[in-house]
Amino acid sequence: MTPMTPMIQTNPRPPIVAPPHPQWPDLDPTAKQALKDRIRGLLKAQNAVLVAHYYTDGDLQELAEETGGHVADSLEMARFGAQSGAETLVVCGVRFMGETAKILNPEKRVLMPDLAATCSLDEGCPADAFTAFCDAHPDRTVVVYANTSAAVKARSDWVVTSSIALPIVRHLAARGEKVLWAPDKHLGHYVERQTGADMLLWDGACVVHEEFKGFALDRLRRLHPDAAVLVHPEAPDEVVEQADVVGSTTALIKAVTELPNPEFIVATDAGIFWKMHQLAPHKRLIAAPTAGEGATCESCAHCPWMAMNALQSLERVLLTGDQEVCIEPTLRERAVIPIRRMLDFAAAQVSAPRLAD
């Protein structure tokens, strides 16, 4: 990688404070099975499917797969929702994922277990300030990560996910375009280093991935010399630099199934372990350290907003329908353009390599 100093927006936003993790009452196996059975019945009665992200609770991922739904990264979630014949999509993830599903499927009802499940990247990139930032740099092509509001997407030229960011930015750089990137500065800096594109970065970060510590990872690697280190590019540079594989959630899961290593140190949200265990039950998975000096846990990498998705909140929304995603039609018409641009690009790239695969 070529060392370079990132150009980052000079008026940083106030830090985003993550909410406490929701505390769901423990369910004994009989009660959990009964709850899952009730949810199955509600899904069937409402012609609804579950679309769950890899960071959500394992029970939700299992239920999605058992009931004809889908578990995926945000790009595949968007694709699946658009292809599904169900009348209702129940998106288990965070709000921008529900919004993307609604933008692509305006005729479908889109529910989420809890509409308050947001994302520090989305929260840290308000549309008014972002619009002013774009207006100040009219010579740049605006590329936004999927972890943004519908209003921010509507102001962009391209939407990308972590699995398609590299080929899209390479494509833009090859056309001689300069990029304005938002909101994740760590992912933006990674893409900048990999592509050599001229990029101006918004000053945002994921509160989960930013906590991974390079010095503690270095110590852990020495204790596990046979382990491959898998890192999501929302992590800081000093963590990414130690990775054997840098990539989207899908790329990291693929690495666990395909690399010969017996152990993996994984620097992304702990929700991903459910799918990794399912696909590679004999591999040992070790959570990369988030703990700093004086911390009370070694690794606390779980998104508090993803944790708002639970069997209990899922049943509640299927009973009440009160957490429905709605997007104002004119906003939707603008936001769908850069999302479709990404999906069309991805469709044309099916045989090309994806981010750090």
Rounded CA-CA distance 137/155 in Å is 13
User: Whole-number minimum distance, CB 34 to ligand SF4, in Å?
Assistant: 30
Q: Which is nearer to ligand SF4, 18 or 259 (CB)?
A: 18
- Work out the number of other CB atoms within 10 angstroms of the CB of residue 51: 25
Q: Which is nearer to ligand SF4, 193 or 209 (CB)?
A: 209
Q: Which is nearer to ligand SF4, 264 or 305 (CB)?
A: 305
User: Whole-number minimum distance, CB 78 to ligand SF4, in Å?
Assistant: 15
Q: Which is nearer to ligand SF4, 124 or 167 (CB)?
A: 124
Contacts with ligand SF4, 234-273, as mask; x by CB under 6 A: x----------------------------------x----
Rounded CA-CA distance 63/255 in Å is 24
Residues in contact with ligand SF4, counted by CB under 6 A, come to a total of 15
Phi, psi of 85, rounded to the nearest 5 degrees: -90, 0
User: Whole-number minimum distance, CB 75 to ligand SF4, in Å?
Assistant: 14
User: Whole-number minimum distance, CB 304 to ligand SF4, in Å?
Assistant: 8
SS3 category, 134: helix
Asked whether position 206 contacts ligand SF4 by CB under 6 A, the answer is: yes
Stretch binding ligand SF4 (CB under 6 A), from 3-11, 60-68, 302-310, 348-356: 302-310
User: Whole-number minimum distance, CB 97 to ligand SF4, in Å?
Assistant: 8
Rounded CA-CA distance 298/193 in Å is 30
SS3 category, 287: strand
Asked whether position 306 contacts ligand SF4 by CB under 6 A, the answer is: yes
Contacts with ligand SF4, 88-127, as mask; x by CB under 6 A: ------x------------------------xxx------
Q: Which is nearer to ligand SF4, 78 or 173 (CB)?
A: 78
Cα first-last separation, the chain:
16
Name the burial class of residue 38, with classes exposed (0-12), middle (13-18) and buried (19+) by CB atoms within 10 angstroms of its CB. middle
Rounded CA-CA distance 214/207 in Å is 16
Angle (CA) 164-348-340 rounded to 5° is 65
- b/e map 135-170, b = 16+ CB within 10 Å: eeeeebbbbbbbbbbbbbbbbbbbbbbbbbbbbbbb
User: Whole-number minimum distance, CB 348 to ligand SF4, in Å?
Assistant: 27
Residues interacting with ligand SF4, by CB under 6 A?
A: 55, 94, 119-121, 147, 206-209, 234, 269, 303, 305-306
